């Protein structure tokens, strides 16, 4: 199972300085990964209704399971990761998080250029939704994530792709374009 802790946040200060601090934190995580942590990404996003600013940031932190999520939670603020975390947190104005499980596709697409957020249409089964979206995942080399345990303010599904996916209108997907912040 692959899980992604998704963290939406925004700054109270200068965006350039904030992004520099974010990069340092993500690099510190990569340099000293906790058990079960595999990768992270950071992207600037605009128009997400769960971010109370015109634009903010969206981080994905990949872990192998729920146990690894707890380990990451503790490790993010310890050792060599503590100072970079605290410096970024010091200028953050707020944030919200969610937990998503990879349903189809490749987890390597975290932070890709296009994100489509949608809810399962009323009356549609999860099997029917999967049957509708899975071929699109393969066609555009995308990734489909499903929210777990109703954590977080965002919609139930996130479909990521490097190029436009043209999801069916019945999904009423909110398309967000991301600008990836290079952390490596």
Bridge partners of residue 21, in order along the sequence:
none
Residue 36 has pLDDT above 90, yes or no: yes
Residue 150 has pLDDT above 90, yes or no: no
Q: Which domain holds residue 43?
A: 3-180
Q: pLDDT value at position 49?
A: 94
pTM of model > 0.85? yes
In the block, which residue shows the tokens 């099997």?
127
Q: pLDDT value at position 141?
A: 87
Contact 161, 106 (CB under 8 A): no
CATH, residue 61: 3.30.70.100
Mean pLDDT for all residues in the chain: 94
Bridge partners of residue 44, in order along the sequence:
57, 179
> What's the average model confidence in pLDDT over 12-21?
94
Query: pLDDT above 70 covers what percent of the chain?
Result: 100
Say how far apart CA 1 and CA 66 lie, in whole Å. 9
Q: pLDDT value at position 18?
A: 97
Q: In total, how many domains does the chain have? A: 1
């Amino acid at each position: 199972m692959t899980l992604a802790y998704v963290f939406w946040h925004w700054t109270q200060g200068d965006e350039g300085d904030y992004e520099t601090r974010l990069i340092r934190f993500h690099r510190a995580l990569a340099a000293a990964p906790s058990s079960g942590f595999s990768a992270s990404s950071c992207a600037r996003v605009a128009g997400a209704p769960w971010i109370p600013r015109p634009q903010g940031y969206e981080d994905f932190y990949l872990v192998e399971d729920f146990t690894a999520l707890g380990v990451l939670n503790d490790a993010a603020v310890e050792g060599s990761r503590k100072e970079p975390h605290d410096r970024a947190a010091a200028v953050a104005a707020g944030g919200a998080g969610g937990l998503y499980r990879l349903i189809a596709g490749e987890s390597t697409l975290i932070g890709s250029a296009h994100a489509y957020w949608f809810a399962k249409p009323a009356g549609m089964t999860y099997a029917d939704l999967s049957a509708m979206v899975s071929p699109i995942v393969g066609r555009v080399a995308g990734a489909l994530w499903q929210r777990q345990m109703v954590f977080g303010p965002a919609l139930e599904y996130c479909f990521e792709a490097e190029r436009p996916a043209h999801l069916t209108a019945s999904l009423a997907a909110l398309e967000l374009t991301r600008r990836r912040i290079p952390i490596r």
